[in-house]
Homo-oligomer: A and B are copies of this chain.
Amino acid sequence: MSSRIFSFVGGAVGVWRVETILPVIGEPLAEVPRLDVVNGSLSALPEHSKWMLRGIKSNERYVTRDEKDELKAHQPQLGRPAATCAALIPIRKTASWWELPQDERRSILEERSRHIKTGLKYLPAIARSLHHCRDLGEPESFDFLTWFEYAPADAPAFEELAADLRATEEWQYVEREVDIRLSRTPA
C-alpha cells in the first residue's frame, strides 16, 4: 500500500540525474549527482546522501469544486515515459503568510495571483504533485515540495510557468526557494 509521505533523497543513487540546484531565495541545498524519490518516510538519511526532504500529500487547501473538476479532467499521471524532465521546487513561506486567515490566503493565491489557473494553462503538458511539509514536524526546512514532470519539448513551457508564478503577489511571501532540475536516466 502506498504512503501519503514521500522522501526526496539527494545523494549518489536514484533514477533522476541532477542537472542543476539553484537557490532562488535564501539558503541553498548542497550539490548532489542524483535524486532518489522514495514512497514513505525514511528514519535516517541514507548512506552517501547529503540531504533528505520529506512531504505528505494532503487534502486541498484552496481549490474549489469547479477547479477540482477541471484539474481532474486535464491533469496527467506522473511517470509518463516521454516525461524525462523533472523539477523539484521546495519553498517556505513567511510567518506573515501563515498568520493570514483562510479567505485572505485564497484571495492572494488565486483571485490576485491566479496560481491554480496558471497551473491549468499548462495541462496536460506539465504533471504536478504537491507535498506538504509544514505540519509534518518541527522544525521543517520547507513548507511545500512541488514535483513537476514534462517532456523535453515542454521545457520552455515549464520555464514560463515557473516565471509566471514567481512574478505573483503570492511569491512575495516566499522566503526560501530552491530550484532543482532533473532528467531521468535510461532504465
Residue ranges of A at the interface with B (Cβ–Cβ < 8 Å): 3-5, 41, 56, 58-65, 67-68, 98-106, 132, 134-138
Asked whether, in the complex, the Cβ of B101 is within 8 Å of the Cβ of A67, the reply is yes
Closest 5 CB pairs of A and B: A64-B103, A68-B101, A135-B135, A59-B98, A65-B101
- Given contacts A64-B103, A101-B64, is CB(A58)–CB(B138) below 8 Å? no
27 contacts between A and B (CB under 8 A): A3-B138, A5-B137, A5-B138, A41-B137, A56-B135, A56-B137, A58-B134, A58-B135, A59-B98, A59-B100, A59-B105, A60-B101, A60-B102, A61-B102, A62-B102, A63-B101, A63-B102, A64-B101, A64-B102, A64-B103, A67-B101, A68-B101, A102-B106, A132-B135, A135-B136, A136-B136, A136-B137
With a cutoff of 8 Å between Cβ atoms, the chain B residues found around residue A5 in the complex are 137-138
With a cutoff of 8 Å between Cβ atoms, the chain B residues found around residue A135 in the complex are 56, 58, 132, 135-136
With a cutoff of 8 Å between Cβ atoms, the chain B residues found around residue A100 in the complex are 59
With a cutoff of 8 Å between Cβ atoms, the chain B residues found around residue A101 in the complex are 60, 63-65, 67-68
- Complex copy number for this chain: 2
With a cutoff of 8 Å between Cβ atoms, the chain B residues found around residue A136 in the complex are 135-137
With a cutoff of 8 Å between Cβ atoms, the chain B residues found around residue A41 in the complex are 137-138
Asked whether, in the complex, the Cβ of A65 is within 8 Å of the Cβ of B138, the reply is no
- Find A103's partner among B65, B99, B105, B134 (CB 8 Å cutoff): B65
Minimum CB–CB distance for A60 against chain B, Å: 6
Measured CA separation A138–B54 after assembly (Å): 12
Minimum CB–CB distance for A56 against chain B, Å: 5
